[in-house]
Amino acid sequence: MRYKLEISYDGTNYSGFQIQPNKDTIQKRLEDAMMHVYRDEIDIVASGRTDAGVSAICQVCHFDTECNVDTRRDVGYLNSILPENIRVLSISEASVDFHARKSAKNKTYIYNFYTGREIPVYDKFATNIGYNLDIEKMKEACRYIQGEHDFTAFCASNTAVVDKVRIVYDIKIIDLGENLYRMEITGNGFLYNMVRIIMGTLVSVGMGKIRPEDIVQIIESKNRANSGKTMPAKGLVLKKVIYSNV
Amino acid sequence: MRYKLEISYDGTNYSGFQIQPNKDTIQKRLEDAMMHVYRDEIDIVASGRTDAGVSAICQVCHFDTECNVDTRRDVGYLNSILPENIRVLSISEASVDFHARKSAKNKTYIYNFYTGREIPVYDKFATNIGYNLDIEKMKEACRYIQGEHDFTAFCASNTAVVDKVRIVYDIKIIDLGENLYRMEITGNGFLYNMVRIIMGTLVSVGMGKIRPEDIVQIIESKNRANSGKTMPAKGLVLKKVIYSNV
């Protein structure tokens, strides 16, 4: 039997999603909890890994087991074993065709950031840019990022992926008041560090280092050296994974 | 000389603002840092105390000292001594007439909350209501809270304050997406636990226990037993203090 698993986590103190030797990861915690509940070595496949320090409002996974899974009761059972910063939201039966990564159509990420003076309350979930930013110019820059592009310039240079064409369906910056902002981006897939590099490039625009329309040349250059900094993991949150076009 | 001090803090791990024996408080940390910098016993007066676990985006204080204060340099000096969850935002010279509490005209508080399933990322700064709420009904209820009223029904019953008439200039609920909401309230003053009890009463409305228009009777009753629960400190943030009508 295949099951779909929805989870939510605060990734701050974890070395990312994926299991690595001698590291505390989300996947390890989940598989340990599964071992406890099902007495079975269950492999959990996520829609994608999240890096160290990255959180998820709703990450989607799948797993296969022949054990007896009670999709309602086991949510509570797993949560009683898991640390409070990892929560199982739901377990449901899935078809064998369902694959948490391969079946994913779109994903939405959030990047929380704030400008100006340091605010400790914001530091819990957002990156402090320090400078004041021209948010209107950043919003203008978003329009050049939207669409289908080869995002090589916005991908960590050490990536093995060959096809770097992705579609960004929507990218926007939402003003949450008092210098706090949220960048929200939805696409059909994201290259390694792509959201963090896009955010860094938007910050370059906001600081006046580059103009919004310069995004066009940066994309065309396919050169990582032309885009902005890779922004810190803090502030990055996987919001949701969409599996159908509904 | 009198000085105005703007500070920002994450109150999660403190026993509130005000100094108390054997407790770790914001005021104690500030006065200790002041002692280090100025070698003087400086009393810090805030616009109001915040309770244990309550944070501030911008709290305003004043202090008097005959020491030599460098309003620019000392911000960094104090911040190098203070823990990272307490930040001095600014120090400025103030007139002797300025009093952080008595001169305050309005204050704005935020209450961060979310509905539905538990989301660890939100737990860092928002209260989980658990239930799904009828937010439109809560917005309707806000209209009955706005205005000048005797807020006895929304005040912790053990308060010594006699005059419980306050003006709520503005109260609104902002939808931040994905079940996350922010209640924002501006008034000319707040009674003890008033924001947390107003929030608890709005939750009662959102859960359908009471109707929006029932707020009218609750206010008129001047009876704490008729209003909602005192919501947890987590989620409550002092946003700003306004000293002029500008």
Residue in chain B nearest A239 by alpha carbon:
B178
Among residues B180, B52, B31, B39, the alpha carbon closest in space to that of B118 is found at B180
Q: What 3-state DSSP class applies to A211?
A: coil
**CA Rg value for chain A:** 19
CB contact under 8 A, A120 and B55: yes
CB contact under 8 A, A8 and B89: no
Supply φ then ψ for residue A188, to 5 degrees: -85, 0
CB contact under 8 A, B118 and A178: no
Pairing mode of beta strands A180-187, A236-242? unpaired
Per-residue confidence at A161, pLDDT binned at 50, 70, 90?
A: confident
Are B43 and B53 in contact by the 8 Å Cβ rule? The answer is no
pLDDT score at A245: 43
Helix (H) / strand (E) containing B236: strand B236-242
**Of chain A residues 4-33, which have a CB less than 8 A from chain B?**
8-10
Are A212 and A201 in contact by the 8 Å Cβ rule? The answer is no
Which of B92, B117, B121 to mutate to test binding with chain A, by most A CBs within 10 Å of its CB?
A: B121
pLDDT score at A50: 93
Supply φ then ψ for residue A53, to 5 degrees: 85, -5
Per-residue confidence at A112, pLDDT binned at 50, 70, 90?
A: very high
Q: With contacts defined as CB-CB under 8 Å, which chain A residues touch B176?
A: 176, 182
CB contact under 8 A, A8 and B120: yes
**What CA–CA distance (Å, rounded) separates A153 from B196?**
48
CB contact under 8 A, B55 and A121: yes
Percent of chain A with pLDDT over 90: 94
pLDDT score at B246: 36
Q: With contacts defined as CB-CB under 8 Å, which chain B residues touch A60?
A: none
Q: Is the ipTM above a cut-off of 0.90?
A: no
Burial class (CB within 10 angstroms; exposed 0-12, middle 13-18, buried 19+) of B192? middle
pLDDT score at B158: 76
> C-alpha dihedral over A34, A36, A42, A46, to 10 degrees?
30
Q: What 3-state DSSP class applies to B13?
A: coil
Q: What is the pLDDT along chain B (246 residues), one digit of tens a residue?
A: 999 999 999 999 999 999 999 999 999 999 999 999 999 999 999 999 999 999 999 999 999 999 999 999 999 999 999 999 999 999 999 999 999 999 999 999 999 999 999 999 999 999 999 889 999 999 999 999 999 999 999 998 877 788 999 999 999 999 998 899 999 999 999 999 999 999 999 999 999 999 999 999 999 999 999 999 999 999 999 999 999 843
Q: What is the tens place of the pLDDT at every residue in A1-55?
A: 999 999 999 999 999 999 999 999 999 999 999 999 999 999 999 999 999 999 9
**What CA–CA distance (Å, rounded) separates A179 from A184?**
16
* pLDDT for A160 beyond 70: yes
The minimal CB distance from A87 to the residues B9, B86, B120 is found for B120
pLDDT score at B131: 87
A63 Cβ under 8 Å from any chain B Cβ:
no
Residue in chain B nearest A180 by alpha carbon:
B57
Average pLDDT score, chain A: 95
**How far is B9 from chain A, CA to nearest CA, in Å?**
5
Q: Which of A51, A64, A150, A214 is catalytic?
A: A51
Pairing mode of beta strands B180-187, B86-94? unpaired
**What CA–CA distance (Å, rounded) separates B17 from A18?**
41
Residue in chain A nearest B174 by alpha carbon:
A176
Are A111 and A235 in contact by the 8 Å Cβ rule? The answer is yes
A188 Cβ under 8 Å from any chain B Cβ:
no
Q: What 3-state DSSP class applies to B233?
A: coil
Sign of the dihedral through C-alpha B139, B53, B83, B63: positive
Among residues B188, B209, B208, B184, the alpha carbon closest in space to that of B198 is found at B184
Q: What is the tens place of the pLDDT at every residue in A184-217?
A: 999 999 999 999 999 999 999 999 999 999 999 9
Question: What would the mean pLDDT of A219-228 be, rounded to a whole number?
Answer: 96
Residues 6+ apart with CB under 8 A from A195: A109, A111, A185, A236
Among residues B149, B147, B190, the alpha carbon closest in space to that of B169 is found at B147
**What CA–CA distance (Å, rounded) separates A56 from A108?**
10
What is the greatest pairwise CA distance in chain A? Answer: 58
CB contact under 8 A, B57 and A178: yes
